[in-house]
Amino acid sequence: MTSMPLTTPTASRTRWLKNWRDVLLIWTILLVLVIVASLASDRFLTPFNLERVTAQLAALALVAIGQTFVLLTAGIDLSVGSVVSLVGTLLVGIITDSPESWVLGTAVAVGVGALVGLVNGLAVTRLKVSPFMVTLATLSIVQGIALFVFERFKDVFEGSISRNFGEVFTGNLGPIPIPLFVIIIPVGIAALVLRQTPFGRHIYALGSNENATRLSGMATDRVKLQVYVISGLMAGLAGLYTSARTLSGNPLIGENLAFESITAVVLGGVSLMGGRGSILGTLAGVLIIGILSNMLNLLRVPSDYQYVLRGALLVLAVMLYARRGRSA
Amino acid sequence: MMPTPLLSIENISKSFPGVRALMDVSFAVQAGEVHALVGENGAGKSTLMKILAGVYQPDSGGLHWQGQSIQLRSPADSQRLGISIIYQEFNLLPDLTVAENVLLNREPRTRLGLVDWRALNERTRQLLHDLETDIDPQALVQDLSVAQQQIVEIVKALAIDARLLIMDEPTAALNPTEVGHLFGVIERLKARGSAVIFISHRLDEVFTISDTVTVLKDGQHISTSPAADLTREEVVRRMVGRQLQDIFPPRLQAQGGTPLLEVHGLSNDRLRDINLQLQAGEILGLAGLEGHGQRELARALFGIEPIHRGTVQIDGQRVYLRHPEDAMRQGVAFLSDDRKMEGLALTLGVRENVALPNLNRFSRFMMVQHEDERAVCGQIVETMAVKTPGIEQPVRLLSGGNQQKTVLSKWLISQPRILIFVEPTRGIDVGAKVEIYRLIHQLAHDGAGVLMVSSDLLELLGLSSRVLVLREGAIAAELAGAAATEESVMLAATGVHG
């Protein structure tokens, strides 16, 4: 039997395009949005405004990165928002002006996040409960703990966080605002992990066909456990960042983050069925959400309209992806 | 003069990016005939079927139904005409009962407009009875075997009184008795004036049931002739375009030494006290009627199904197989009978699938080295003669035989010493089958041990050095050499003493 030529240059180039079609699509939408925003308001493209948008978006970006890992395996993590809330509430009692307390605070943020992720991962892999139900339960439990801590230990966990600590995350490094690094560095690491490491490949394979991946000798449960820990960890870091930015602990501050992060990730082209999508897409999704709401705020559009618009955008994006899926 | 055909296919062409699936194909199907459609993988059978199903629209050419020009823009159009298709991958709803599946969207109603459950179950029971099967209409589809699900698919098509029934590999999962029942039903359909397009790789069956045989090759129509004018050899010659002298390579003998694999007293829910030895260089066949534990034994030895009692030794060392990872580490590879569910990540490309169990091999400093990966994957894909436009092609776009070769490729990179094959040629055409046979033979010849489960007795006997026959989860007989015949295997499998 004759075999066809393996890879011709044109074939690999079209493949490259195919791979990036979803990413190109969403970045094109983002570009259009940026143009519309700068036309609609002359305050949009000012350094002050862009810095503010970046600072507001960093927490969502961190959570969305973790959410991307989970969604790629066809899972979901609803508990991320309450992790952010709990971490923020705890840090008020921990962080003072001393650098030792900053280290302790960071450890607590990472530890709490990873622990919640571990619980999620263990429940999903050992008890075989669906990720939706598991993380719905932990969402509620962790939220409860955050409120409990806030109410019962008011004297310890009240007041505000050291302004010096806040500066670490909100200041500037040379001419560049630090929140930009808070977004770029994790995005870079996550993209590297997903694209270049065996672990990343296992995540895509697991999301595409769990059975086949298991029968290829992958420890699929371990991979699942790891993605929930990563998601929890990223939520913990988002909590740390949020505390530094707001300098306070609000036990409800993360309330919308689970749904916002899922919106961003799906906007960015990650399939809820798993196995498809990328971190670059997620980054675009996060930026679209942030820039859209920033633009609408600049135009003084009331928030109720904003919710409706965001929902409409999500439906539109999902429709575009669905068509792409059929044509591919 | 011929009567107006029920369906005539005229100059149909269809291309996909990179593939010309059909080129100017024309032939006609008469009412009341069984029309076999044969060809190798990628010959265009599936594409043609999807055009008749209204899933694809042809690029050029047309269809005539009883002399009238028709256009099938959707599956609904096709169903309205009375074209019913049974795909190789079932379209059943596993959480519903057999009856609910069979009469889906056509549920009989009571006078109040509610579902008439009694009539629903009764009508389904009648249809199942016509097929002489004892499937319970109220059983859940997920609890049925593959063979039983196949029958439910057929019954579903029968329920809409199809004028033209298209069956894609309908017998792939059936045992001889069930095949007999199926052929009985096809005869009855024929007598009623319906036409059947029968797509199969099993030429014996093609000759048993068909009136007319159409051969496709590489998207082109080769011939349409009465089955009576053809021989098996002639059909094969037309399909592959070359003479096919010997399908099976010479039989291998064990190379001796410490057995690669030794199993003592293995038991679980489905298996009882299994003892076996596999030597280097031999192909050990596992035979038996469907559902008697061959599949479960193969899966247990790859750590997929639990082992409750008994021991497994590899190279004389006791091993514990709790997870496929454990088995892989011992140099065991496993080819599932369900390529789409268990063999491949369909949305990913050839390279990603082939690389999956081998990622550590391509990785340095925890990073996948893409150059190495592409080189090794490209090489194996070429060695295995996988027909694909490139190693980045999504595997779902490959034909069955090429998908199977992709699965095989992904295992062969790590040079496993024990290979477990479950139905290695299911849904694969003659040409690709022979290639797979050669590969299995070569692997054993080079010193691997092969354990093979197949419901195709001809294939099992043709390849195996020894055959173990399972009955009710236990080994009923070990047959080797001249003692291994279709008859002796069937006797041991059914427990009837001749």
The answer to whether B321 and B302 have CB atoms below 8 angstroms apart is yes
Torsion angle of alpha carbons B238, B240, B241, B244, nearest 10°? -90
Q: Does A188 touch chain B (CB under 8 A)?
A: no
Residues 6+ away with beta carbon under 8 Å from B317:
none
Tell me: the pLDDT tens digits for B59-102? 999 999 999 999 999 888 888 888 988 887 777 888 888 998 88
Q: Is any Cβ of chain B less than 8 angstroms from the Cβ of A277?
A: no
Contact B165, B197 (CB under 8 A): yes
The top-scoring range by mean pLDDT among A82-86, A93-97, B123-127 is A82-86
Q: How far apart are the first and last CA of chain A?
A: 28
The parts of chain B modelled with pLDDT lower than 50 are 244, 498
User: Given this model, what pLDDT does residue A99 score?
Assistant: 87
CB contact under 8 A, A209 and B346: yes
CA dihedral angle for residue A308, residue A311, residue A316, residue A318, rounded to 10 degrees: -170
The predicted structure's pLDDT at residue B369: 87
Q: Tell me the pTM.
A: 0.73
* Residue A197 to residue B367, Cβ atoms within 8 A: yes
Q: What ipTM was predicted for this assembly? A: 0.72
Contacts of A12 in chain B (CB under 8 A): 390, 392
Best mutation target among B240, B328, B348 (most A Cβ atoms within 10 Å) is B348
- For residue A1, what pLDDT is reported? 35
3-class SS string, chain B? CCCCCCEEEEEEEEEECCEEEEEEEEEEECCCCEEEEECCCCCCHHHHHHHHCCCCCCCEEEEEECCEEECCCCHHHHHHHCEEEECCCCCCCCCCEHHHHHCCCCCCECCCCCECHHHHHHHHHHHHHHCCCCCCCCCEHHHCCHHHHHHHHHHHHHHCCCCEEEEECCCCCCCHHHHHHHHHHHHHHHHCCCEEEEECCCHHHHHHHCCEEEEEECCEEEEEEEHHHCCHHHHHHHHHCCCCCCCCCCCCCCCCCCCCEEEEEEECCCCCCEEEEECCCCEEEEECCCCCCHHHHHHHCCCCCCCCEEEEEECCEEECCCCHHHHHHCCEEEECCCHHHHHCCCCCEHHHHHHHHHHHHHEECCEECHHHHHHHHHHHHHHCCCCCCCCCCEHHHCCHHHHHHHHHHHHHCCCCCEEEEECCCCCCCHHHHHHHHHHHHHHHHCCCEEEEECCCHHHHHHHCCEEEEEECCEEEEEEEHHHCCHHHHHHHHHCCCC
CB contact under 8 A, B325 and A218: yes
Tokens, residue A145 = 């703990």
Q: Distance (Å, rounded) from C-alpha B360 to C-alpha A148?
A: 46
From B346, which residue of chain A is nearest by alpha-carbon distance? A208
Domains contained in chain B, CATH given: 7-240 (3.40.50.300), 261-494 (3.40.50.300)
Q: What residue type is assigned to position B133 of the chain? A: T
What torsion, rounded to 10 degrees, do the Cα atoms B180, B184, B189, B192 define?
170
Domain boundaries, chain A: 43-327
Residue A75 predicted with pLDDT over 70: yes
Contact residues, chain B, for A196 at CB < 8 Å: 367-368
Secondary element (H or E) of residue A197: none
Work out how many CB contacts closer than 8 A connect A with B.
105
CA distance B299 to chain A (A): 10
Check the CA dihedral A11-A12-A17-A23 and report its sign: positive
Task: List residues in chain B touching A: CB distance below 8 A.
Answer: 18, 302, 304, 323-325, 327-329, 334, 336, 341-349, 352, 355-357, 359-360, 363, 366-368, 378, 381-382, 385-392, 394, 410, 431, 435
Give me the CATH topology for the region A43-327.
ABC transporter involved in vitamin B12 uptake, BtuC (1.10.3470)
Whether the CB-CB separation of B45 and B199 falls below 8 Å is answered with yes
Across the range A317-324, mean pLDDT stands at 77
The pLDDT mean for chain A works out to: 88
Q: Do A208 and B346 touch (CB under 8 A)?
A: yes
Predicted pLDDT of residue A19: 56
* pLDDT value at residue A325: 55
The C-alpha torsion from A135 through A139 and A141 to A142, rounded to 10°, is 120
pLDDT at B259: 92
Cα dihedral across residues A129, A133, A136, A137: positive or negative: negative
The answer to whether A98 contacts chain B (CB < 8 Å) is no
Q: Is B366 in contact with A197 (Cβ distance < 8 A)?
A: yes
Q: Are strands B309-314 and B363-364 parallel, antiparallel or unpaired?
A: unpaired
Give me the pLDDT at residue A13, please: 44
Radius of gyration of chain B (CA): 24
Chain B within 8 Å of A147 (Cβ-Cβ)? no
- Residue A204 with chain B: CB contacts under 8 Å: 345, 348, 352
Nearest CA in chain A to B323: A217
Which chain A residue lies closest to B327 (C-alpha atoms)? A217
pLDDT of A244 over the 60 cut: yes
Residue A205, CB-side half-sphere exposure with 13 Å CA sphere: 32
**pLDDT mean over A203-218:** 88
Report the chain A residue with the minimal C-alpha distance to residue B381. A6
pLDDT at residue A113 is higher than 70: yes
Cross-sheet strand order for the sheet of B274-278: B274-278, B261-267, B309-314, B317-319
Q: Which residues of B touch A7 (CB under 8 A)?
A: 378, 390-392
- The token pair at B462 is 């043709």
Q: How far apart are CA B467 and CA B490, in angstroms?
A: 12
pLDDT confidence of residue A17: 53
Asked whether the beta carbons of A172 and A106 are under 8 A apart, the reply is: no
